[in-house]
Amino acid sequence: MNSALKLELGRRYRFSASHRLHTEHLSEEENNRIFGKCNNPYGHGHNYVVEVSVSGDVDPATGMIANLADLDAFVQHQVLDEFDHKSLNEDVPAFRDIVPTTENVCIEIFRRLKSFPKAKLERIRVEETGKNSFEYAGDDPEGNLP
């Protein structure tokens, strides 16, 4: 690899899920005031887009940072199988106690993909709708290696 350059591979995935923004730490009125229509007790859904960026050396034999088949299978197993067509609040244990805002969805997906063995996870960007998106690149100053 030419060490003067930094290369990243980016891949977009999609899942559809429902959520409800609500916390037991606040009163009904406060939940209603803060979360507005996202506090609807029956929940609502989104078509989420997840953008995964990984970095590493480009293997001269394959031209690749990581084989897409490996990345796709890892994301499928770690995230999509457990998020797609699910209720984030009810079906994903991480959101039993924290509100499934897309900020927290971003952090949870980062946590689940951090151990990808073939390349270094750089960042996760999630679009909740076409009009808003959220990014998380980890908080570890030493980097995001597992």
Partner 1 sequence: MVLITRKIEFSASHLYHNPSFSVEENRRIFGKCNNPHGHGHNYTLEVTVAGEPDPVTGMVLDLKELKEILEREVMQRMDHRHLNYEVPELAGQIPTCENIAQVLWRLLDPKITRGRLHHVRLYESPDLFADCYRNGAAPAGKQ
**Which of 41, 62, 131, 142 touches partner 1 by CB under 8 A?**
62
CA angle 31, 35, 36 (to 5 degrees): 100
What does the alpha-carbon distance between residue 31 and residue 40 come to, in Å, rounded to a whole number? 10
Closer of 27 and 62 to partner 1 (Cβ): 62
Contact 106, 79 (CB under 8 A): no
Contact 66, 54 (CB under 8 A): yes
Least distance between partner 1 and beta carbon 22 (Å): 30
Least distance between partner 1 and beta carbon 43 (Å): 27
What does the alpha-carbon distance between residue 89 and residue 127 come to, in Å, rounded to a whole number? 18
Find the part of the chain contacting partner 1 (CB under 8 A) among 18-26, 28-36, 57-65, 96-104: 57-65
Least Cα distance to 135 among 106, 104, 95, 98 occurs for 106
- Cα Dmax for the chain: 60
Residues forming the active site: 38, 85, 128
Least distance between partner 1 and beta carbon 115 (Å): 22
Q: Does 37 bind partner 1 (CB under 8 A)?
A: no
Closer of 21 and 126 to partner 1 (Cβ): 126
Could you say which residues in the range 1-20 bind partner 1, by CB under 8 A?
2-13
Q: Does 143 bind partner 1 (CB under 8 A)?
A: no
Distances (CA, A) of 43 to 15, 19, 51, 86: 16, 5, 24, 11
> Which chain residues interact with partner 1 by CB under 8 A?
2-13, 53, 58, 60-65, 67-69, 122-123, 135, 137
